[in-house]
A = this chain, B = another copy of it.
Amino acid sequence: MDSRDKLERLFAMFPGIGPRQAKRFVYFLLTRNSGFTSELALALSDLKKNISQCNSCYRFFPNDGNTACQVCRSVNTDQKTILIVEKDVDFENVHKSGFYNGRFFVLGGLLPILEEEPAKKIRARELVAEVLRQAETGNLKEIIIALSLNGEGENTYQYIKGILQPLTQKYSINLSTLGRGLSTGSEIEYSDGETLKYAIENRK
Chain B residue with the shortest CB-CB distance to A190: B93
CB pair A97–B181 under 8 Å, yes or no, is no
Interface residues of A in 138-177 (CB under 8 A from B): 144, 146-150, 176-177
**A76 / chain B contacts, CB cutoff of 8 Å:** none
Residue-wise, chain A 180-204 has the 8 Å CB interface mask toward B (1 for contact) of 1111111111111111111111111
Stretch at the interface among A30-38, A65-73, A113-121: A30-38
| Number of residues on chain A facing chain B (CB within 8 A) | 87
CB pair A2–B51 under 8 Å, yes or no, is yes
**A21 within 8 A of partner (CB):** yes
**A178 / chain B contacts, CB cutoff of 8 Å:** 181-182, 196, 199-200, 202-203
**A126 within 8 A of partner (CB):** no
